[in-house]
Structure 1
Amino acid sequence: MSAQESCLSLIKYFLFVFNLFFFVLGSLIFCFGIWILIDKTSFVSFVGLSFLPLQIWSKVLAVSGILTMGLALLGCVGALKELRCLLSLYFGMLLLLFATQITLGILISTQRVRVERSVQDIVKKTIQNYHADPEDTVAEESWDYVQFQLRCCGWHSPQDWFQVLILRGNESEAHRVPCSCYNSSSANDSAVFDKMIFPQLSRLSPLARPGPSTDLCVVSAKSHIYREGCAQSLQKWLHNNLISIVGVCLGISLFELGFMTLSIFLCRNLDYVYDRLARYR
């Protein structure tokens, strides 16, 4: 066996092993998404949060797992069986994915102000329409999750919630905000947090009655709530995690470039192997 044939064999099995790993990873992601979709109660108990929009995340994970499995399967079969059509398709899909990532990165960098303005408009619309439609609370649940995780309230400040009709109550009452704004660690009190969590856990139970949610957990704006808006918190989070985000994106891009290079190299040099085999016939 010549040095070139040995190199091609090494590349073939290298592609096969790494794509087999990504196939297993994709299957795990897919199973995780299906688990969330089927057994929401167990997942909520596991993560400890119930206002996460489970249905959306489960579908995103399931679709991501399927795409990862499909791409990895192309690489595995194409490399092991030395099929040029599958290797070419594998290269094309990786190239499309890489080009999409580069395009998104350029658009986000060049249109950052417009993106920020669009996000701000979406958040303000979500706040103004908070619980306006009890059958569609996905956006509200997502924003509650953001406020709870980033320890913030409103977009600019808690005052963004003061004009929301469903939270105002009687005119004599103080301004109120959603329970996701409540700073339980500052108050050393988990009662409001439990009030926000457990009613939603009961709705996820198989014994719960069907129908839209009507529960609304609010607290007084004069109590222990987060005083910082989520716009500032998001900027801080991006600043603190910028190196990690860039590193992950760069690592994924390098993996894609490496796999594209190996697949196209193997695909282009298969003719050399076939010619040598034909000579010995």
Structure 2
Amino acid sequence: METWEGPPTVSLVTTNSKAPQVKMSAQESCLSLIKYFLFVFNLFFFVLGSLIFCFGIWILIDKASFVSFVGLTFVALQIWSKVLAISGILTMGLALLGCVGALKELRCLLGLYFGMLLLLFATQITLGILISTQRVRVERRVQDIVLEAIQNYRADPEETAAEESWDYVQFQLRCCGWHSPQDWFPVRVLRDNGSEAHHVPCSCYNSSAATNDSAVFDKIIFPQLGRFGPRARPRHSTDICVVPANGHIYREGCAQSLQKWLHNNLISIVGICLAVGLLELGFMTLSIFLCRNLDHVYYNRLARYR
């Protein structure tokens, strides 16, 4: 006798076929966001580098105006303009690698971009460690360079870039000499007609303290010192402008002024260094992440059209 066991049971297994597609779409959207983020920011730095490069070229073309405005000679301005131009070119090249590599999804360019950023970051860290650990030796080296520039002041009329740069530093920091104005006393070229009276360069002249001598300053000092002040005038590089050491000059050495400036701007300097370092780390992380996940993007695109 046959027994009826009822209708056969059918097991229904529901599969969510949309889950992998949603996951692939989210991953591809994240990588696209990273790609365009890298592109936009590197495009900004490319424009910034081009502006720095153009500014350096502008200094070379219009040197006469910058000589009277900044207070440096043609040789010193030429050096600084080349530094700006080279910095602009390097910034443009690095940003171009990031832009093209991110937009075109080229692993070789992204890898090169990561490598250059890593090299730049390692160089900055190495310099920071060397400066912090070898601070005494760095200070002695800077002191030797400055004192040598003071001793050889205008010894060679054709090589005045270091002297003119130091004159500009003294004028901006409102200081005289490295330790004190006495650093200038042994320089014979500053003595008036070979006399024993001590003189210092006009960049040591404290015009703000000479309120009673404004007429003398305009008639005697200003025609030669004008290139350092707001009423700047260019003068020939072979001219030597000196003022008496017992007059209105800065009595503080530039070593103390530099220490005060570093102490007053320490937070800003550290903040800028940290911001630059974090920015480089962020770009390195995004570039290597995009470079490592490009294979998944290509696989997802192929799987979508299968």
Residues 123 and 155 of structure 1 are in contact (CA less than 8 Å); yes or no, is this contact kept in structure 2? yes
Residues 170 and 176 of structure 2 are in contact (CA less than 8 Å); yes or no, is this contact kept in structure 1? yes
Residues 168 and 175 of structure 1 are in contact (CA less than 8 Å); yes or no, is this contact kept in structure 2? yes
User: What pairs with 1:251-262 in structure 2 (closer than 5 Å)?
Assistant: 251-262=275-286
Matched, 1:49 2:82: no
Structure-2 residue corresponding to 1:277: 301
Across the aligned residues of Structure 1 and Structure 2, the Cα RMSD in angstroms comes to 1.7
Structure-2 residue corresponding to 1:98: 121
Instruction: Assess, with a 3 A threshold, how the Cα gap between structure 1 residues 42 and 200 changes in structure 2: closer, same or farther.
Output: closer
Q: How many residues align?
A: 271
Which deviates more from structure 2 when the two are superposed, residues 180-189 or residues 50-59?
A: 50-59
Residues 50 and 200 of structure 1 are in contact (CA less than 8 Å); yes or no, is this contact kept in structure 2? no
Alpha-carbon distance in 2 for matches of 1:89, 1:3: 27
Structure 1, gaps ≥5 residues long? 204-212
Structure-2 residue corresponding to 1:122: 145
After TM superposition, the score normalised by the length of structure 2 is 0.85
Quote the offset at 1:193 in angstroms. 4.0
Structure-2 residue corresponding to 1:210: none
Residues 75 and 87 of structure 1 are in contact (CA less than 8 Å); yes or no, is this contact kept in structure 2? yes
Residues 29 and 62 of structure 1 are in contact (CA less than 8 Å); yes or no, is this contact kept in structure 2? yes
Deviations 1:116-167 (A, max 9, x none): 0000000110000000000000110111011000000001100000000111
Structure-2 residue corresponding to 1:152: 175
Alpha-carbon distance in 2 for matches of 1:185, 1:245: 29
Q: Indicate which of 179, 183, 186 corresponds to 2:209.
A: 186
Quote the offset at 1:253 in angstroms. 0.3
Alpha-carbon distance in 2 for matches of 1:36, 1:160: 33
Determine helix, strand or coil for the equivalent of 2:208. Answer: helix
Determine helix, strand or coil for the equivalent of 1:19. Answer: helix
Residues 174 and 222 of structure 1 are in contact (CA less than 8 Å); yes or no, is this contact kept in structure 2? no
Residues 179 and 217 of structure 1 are in contact (CA less than 8 Å); yes or no, is this contact kept in structure 2? yes
Determine helix, strand or coil for the equivalent of 1:130. Answer: coil
Matched, 1:9 2:42: no
Q: Which amino acid aligns with 1:187?
A: A
Q: Which amino acid aligns with 2:113?
A: Y
Determine helix, strand or coil for the equivalent of 2:209. Answer: helix
After TM superposition, the score normalised by the length of structure 1 is 0.92
Q: Which amino acid aligns with 1:94?
A: L
Alpha-carbon distance in 1 for matches of 2:223, 2:147: 27
Q: Which amino acid aligns with 1:201?
A: P
Quote the offset at 1:173 in angstroms. 4.8
Quote the offset at 1:66 in angstroms. 0.2
Instruction: Assess, with a 3 A threshold, how the Cα gap between structure 1 residues 180 and 51 changes in structure 2: closer, same or farther.
Output: farther
Structure-2 residue corresponding to 1:63: 86
Q: Which amino acid aligns with 1:196?
A: L
Residues 30 and 65 of structure 1 are in contact (CA less than 8 Å); yes or no, is this contact kept in structure 2? yes
User: What pairs with 1:31-46 in structure 2 (closer than 5 Å)?
Assistant: 31-45=54-68
Quote the offset at 1:274 in angstroms. 1.2
Identity %: 80
Structure-2 residue corresponding to 1:136: 159
Instruction: Assess, with a 3 A threshold, how the Cα gap between structure 1 residues 150 and 193 changes in structure 2: closer, same or farther.
Output: farther
Structure-1 residue corresponding to 2:97: 74
Residues 26 and 64 of structure 1 are in contact (CA less than 8 Å); yes or no, is this contact kept in structure 2? yes
Alpha-carbon distance in 1 for matches of 2:65, 2:150: 30
Alpha-carbon distance in 2 for matches of 1:117, 1:235: 14
Q: Indicate which of 201, 220, 224 corresponds to 2:234.
A: 201
Alpha-carbon distance in 1 for matches of 2:225, 2:255: 24
Quote the offset at 1:68 in angstroms. 0.3
Residues 168 and 203 of structure 2 are in contact (CA less than 8 Å); yes or no, is this contact kept in structure 1? yes
